[in-house]
Structure 1
Amino acid sequence: MSYEPGHSHRRRQSKRSLCMAILVTSGWFIAELVAGFYTNSLALIADALHMLTDIAALSLSGLAMKIAERPATHRKTYGYLRAEILAALGNGILLVLVGAYVAYEAYQRLRAPPVVMGRLMLVVAAVGLGVNVFTMVLLYRSQHQSLNVRGAFLHVLGDALGSVGAIVAGICMVFREWYLADPVVSLLVAALIFYSSWKLVRDSVDVLLEGTPRHLDVGKILSDLGAVEGVISVHDLHIWSITSGMEAMSCHVVLRSGSDPSDVLARLSQMMREKHGIDHTTIQVEAEDWLKKPTRIQ
């Protein structure tokens, strides 16, 4: 099984974006860790260690993309394309854990708000936001084409939201001395992380369970298949994703007597490719006469 040219191009583009994102994130992790030890700030050290989850997520996505390039075998006829979906699911679960940790820490701080170095927090959060936004720009296009990259993108988005929250909280603490701002904003960020991770986990599970891709309308596809000249009816229609951006379809079609099966098959495949973007189609042809023949059980 080979990749389509467009799919291979998107994969190469995603790999380049991931590599750049890993380099940028790793650089900021080292800088923030050094700054934390230099200023003796536990908050900065903790945030730097949190960046490790992003590096792990990005690295996992890159590794999965590399594994997915391995060729198909007789034992794995689809190859290892689902490795990317497994990585996306893993990243989604990791995001849930990150959100839970943020929510727990916020709850603890609501009970006893600590005094925070607001000005230093503002500076670090502003620089961190810049780094996260740059990384998000690198991954933005690819995350629309791959659940795997979307998982990495959401990790960085979570950090960016955290930076925005830290800036807002820092302003409140510096100018209003309202130290509850830190946990309150953190709870909002945790809620956004939960929402994003839920969608990622849901979409990953949909692919693994071979559910119909959400952007495809089964009713419309049935109608379009039945509208092709020579087709009487369609049954046993199945539509699923092999991996992100690679959908497949199989069905049985009953042809009118006298129809040319090869011609009808060609038109059905062309219609699915042009109208619904599905290149991988398996269509079993059944003659109209078969429906009229009694089935014998011996």
Structure 2
Amino acid sequence: MACDCSAEITDVSQKKLLQTLLAINGLFFVLELMVGWYAESIGLIADSLDMLADAIVYGIAIYAVSRANSIKNNAALLSGYFQLMLATLIGLEVIRRFLDGSEPISELMMIMGFFSLLANAYCLKLIFKHRNGEVHMRASWIFSANDVLANLGVIIGGALVFWLNSRLPDLIIGSVITLLILWGAFHIIRDAKSEIKALNINSETCCSSNSNDH
């Protein structure tokens, strides 16, 4: 029996990459959440929770590596639903802060946003070659790309808070991040369902072909 060494090498490479992404996102989730809470910035808090979601997504993807395509598809689908739930929670927090009020510290928003941008840009570089790969890796690419956009939004929001002396830009950025997460979630759910449907069709075709042969 021939050894599928190339597949094994690819699986090991994917797992190491996802573990690196998981570690970076997990670390910056903690840092950004603490800074965001102290700075009273919903933009930073939303971005930190986005990183938490990504860390969990990468953990799910690590589980899916080297497993059957059906498991990879379901892992991507689960990731999408998790992101959908998170976006809902962040949206509710944006509404709460809009009603209760907050005093975001613009300097901390920009500094933390900048360091998070560097971290996520590095993650994006690492996963770039997998952007058209299997569905669980495509999901990881989309989430990493969204993170970079969210970080840029936090930096811009911090600058606007400072310039306008208003909390409104922070609330807007928190809302934009929510929409970004929603877009990523719907995209991955649609992609995963498409893969699951195609896999089922192929399976039925194969079974039908085998029955006819007999």
Q: TM-score, normalised by structure 2?
A: 0.78
Q: Percentage identity across aligned positions?
A: 19
Which residue of the other structure, out of 79, 99, 105, is the alignment partner of 1:91? Answer: 79
Q: What is the deviation of 1:164?
A: 1.5
Q: 1:60-99: per-residue Cα shift (whole Å, max 9, x none)?
A: 1101215x1xxxxxxxxxxx33211111001111111222
For residues 4 and 198 of structure 1, do their structure 2 counterparts lie closer, same or farther at Cα, with a shift above 3 Å needed?
farther
Q: What is the deviation of 1:205?
A: 1.1
> C-alpha separation between the residues in 2 aligned to 1:40 and 1:251?
59
1:290 maps to what in 2?
Answer: none
Q: What is the deviation of 1:6?
A: 5.4
Q: Which runs of 5+ in 1 are unaligned?
A: 69-79, 213-237, 243-247, 253-280, 286-298
Q: What is the deviation of 1:249?
A: 7.2
> C-alpha separation between the residues in 2 aligned to 1:96 and 1:31?
23
Q: 1:154-185: per-residue Cα shift (whole Å, max 9, x none)?
A: 33333333222111111101111132111222
2:24 maps to what in 1?
Answer: 24
Larger Rg: 1
Corresponding residue SS for 2:166? coil
Question: Do residues 154 (structure 1) and 142 (structure 2) align?
Answer: yes
Look up the equivalent residue of 1:54 and give its one-letter code.
D
For residues 3 and 139 of structure 1, do their structure 2 counterparts lie closer, same or farther at Cα, with a shift above 3 Å needed?
farther
Q: 1:2-24: per-residue Cα shift (whole Å, max 9, x none)?
A: 99665544433322221221232
For residues 49 and 185 of structure 1, do their structure 2 counterparts lie closer, same or farther at Cα, with a shift above 3 Å needed?
closer
Q: What is the deviation of 1:121?
A: 1.0
Q: What is the deviation of 1:48?
A: 4.6
Instruction: Report if the CA contact (8 A) 2:39-2:109 is conserved.
Output: no
Corresponding residue SS for 1:210? helix
Instruction: Report if the CA contact (8 A) 1:125-1:166 is conserved.
Output: yes
> C-alpha separation between the residues in 2 aligned to 1:185 and 1:203?
27
For residues 179 and 29 of structure 1, do their structure 2 counterparts lie closer, same or farther at Cα, with a shift above 3 Å needed?
closer
Look up the equivalent residue of 2:144 and give its one-letter code.
V
Instruction: Report if the CA contact (8 A) 2:109-2:158 is conserved.
Output: yes
The alignment of Structure 1 onto Structure 2 pairs a total of residues equal to 210
> C-alpha separation between the residues in 2 aligned to 1:45 and 1:180?
15
1:210 maps to what in 2?
Answer: 198
1:130 maps to what in 2?
Answer: 118
> C-alpha separation between the residues in 2 aligned to 1:206 and 1:82?
12
Q: What is the deviation of 1:201?
A: 0.4
> C-alpha separation between the residues in 1 aligned to 2:91 and 2:122?
26
Instruction: Report if the CA contact (8 A) 1:110-1:184 is conserved.
Output: no
> C-alpha separation between the residues in 1 aligned to 2:11 and 2:97?
43
Farther-moved stretch of structure 1 (4-13 vs 123-132): 4-13
> Which one scores higher on RCO, CA 8 angstroms, separation ≥ 6?
2
For residues 166 and 100 of structure 1, do their structure 2 counterparts lie closer, same or farther at Cα, with a shift above 3 Å needed?
same
> C-alpha separation between the residues in 2 aligned to 1:165 and 1:118?
13
Cα RMSD of the aligned pairs, angstroms, is 3.5
Q: What is the deviation of 1:251?
A: 10
1:62 maps to what in 2?
Answer: 62
Q: Which runs of 5+ in 2 are unaligned?
A: none
> C-alpha separation between the residues in 2 aligned to 1:27 and 1:206?
33
Instruction: Report if the CA contact (8 A) 1:89-1:205 is conserved.
Output: yes
Q: Which has the higher helix share?
A: 2
1:77 maps to what in 2?
Answer: none
1:106 maps to what in 2?
Answer: 94
> C-alpha separation between the residues in 1 aligned to 2:168 and 2:39?
20
2:189 maps to what in 1?
Answer: 201
Look up the equivalent residue of 1:61 and give its one-letter code.
A
Q: TM-score, normalised by structure 1?
A: 0.59
> C-alpha separation between the residues in 1 aligned to 2:117 and 2:96?
25
